[in-house]
Each structure stands twice: as C-alpha cells, then as structure tokens.
Amino acid sequence: MYAIVNIAGKQTKVEANKFVYAHRLAGNVGDKVELGKALLTDDNGTLTIGAPLLDVAVTGTILEHVKGDKVLVFKKKRRKGYKKLNGHRQQFTKVMINSIG
C-alpha cells in the first residue's frame, strides 16, 4: 500500500515501513508526526483518489535532521570584474512512515 501525501508543499509518495526525506519539519528526533491527509491511495491495485483530500492519515517518526548536498550559485558580469560565489545546503528531515490510514 502506498499514498501520495502533501508534505510542506511537495507531493511525496510514501509507503509503510520506509523512510522519506522531507523539508525540515518541526520536532525532535523520536517525535511522532502526522503528515496530513492523503491525496491518493493504492491498496493492492485499488486506487482511491481524493477530491481534493481523503480521510486517510499518514503518521511517521522523525529519525534525524540532515543537510542536503551543497549547491553552488555563481554570478558573474562579463568585463565588469564582478564575480560572486554563494553556497546553499537545504535542511531535510528523515521520517520513517509508520502507518497509512
């Protein structure tokens, strides 16, 4: 069984007993978190689509807070001597999905 859930503005496919990386969620390691209602569920070939949401709650446990890979942003204006290098690392939360529904 899997579900499509809206987590922090991103639609993510989640399955029970697997983990996902979501944008940084509030909470400490070990806290239970409810990821909201599902947009779509599939239970062994039986597809259920919400209009717009289903009454299926997805719960999980926060495993850890991690940083993503570094993204370099380089700006340059030719013939002007202007160069700027900036880096960014996105904060993520690793969440183990406990149950769907």
- Ordered by start, the domain boundaries in the chain are 2-100
- The residue-averaged pLDDT of 23-33 equals 93
At residue 2, what are phi and psi to the nearest 5 degrees?
-140, 165
> Of all residues in the chain, what percent are helix, strand and coil, respectively (each to 5)?
0, 70, 30
The pLDDT value recorded for residue 62 is: 95
The pLDDT value recorded for residue 3 is: 93
CA 41 to each of CA 66, 71, 77, 88, 94: distance values in angstroms, whole numbers, following the listed order: 28, 34, 49, 35, 22
Upstream peptide bond of 52 is cis (omega within 30 degrees of 0) = yes
The pLDDT value recorded for residue 28 is: 93
Average pLDDT, whole number, for the chain? 93
- Is residue 85 very low, low, confident or very high in pLDDT (cuts 50, 70, 90)? very high
What element of type H or E holds 51?
A: none
